[in-house]
Structure formats: structure tokens, C-alpha cells
Amino acid sequence: MSGKKRGAFSYIGSGLGYGVMLAAAMYLFYLGGKWLDARLGTEPLFMAAGLVLAIAATLKKMLNEITALGRDKK
């Protein structure tokens, strides 16, 4: 967004978008981990790892977006 101002609704939309993305990623990784745990008999291992991976990936994406916004303001 080179040089354009963003309104408050744009930031709210971005926040809600990341919230939905986090919830969807956590749900999908949870289901995948649960399925893998059932197959391998490692009950909470892959489920927990999937949740941590989903949170880390979403936070990385959000931080990259915030960093890009900071660079655009300069």
C-alpha cells in the first residue's frame, strides 16, 4: 500500500481476518494432528504440535504484514 492512508475499518478488517485465519488454521491442524495421533498411537503429540505450528505460522504472517506496513509509512 505505497503511500495510501488506511482507515480504522481497514485495520479492524485486518484484525478480524487474522483472527479467522488463526481459528481456521488451529482447527485444521488440530484435526490433522488428531488423525495422525490416532494412526500412530501418539495421543497428544501431533495434535499439540499442530496447534503450536498454526499459531506460529499465523503470528509470522501477521508480523510480516505489520513490518510491511511500517516500511510503507517511511
Q: What is the pLDDT of residues 4-62, one digit of tens each?
A: 566 777 778 888 888 898 899 999 999 999 999 999 999 899 999 999 999 999 899 88
Domain that holds residue 26: 20-73
Residue 23: what pLDDT?
Answer: 92
Residue 45: what pLDDT?
Answer: 95
Q: Which residues are CB-neighbours of 68 under 8 A, at least 6 positions away? A: none
Q: Determine the residue type at 17.
A: G
Q: pTM higher than 0.75 for the full model? A: no
Q: Which residues are CB-neighbours of 42 under 8 A, at least 6 positions away? A: 36
Residue 67 lies in a domain: yes
Number of domains in the chain: 1
Residue 46 lies in a domain: yes
Sign of CA dihedral 15, 19, 20, 21: positive
Residue 1: what pLDDT?
Answer: 46
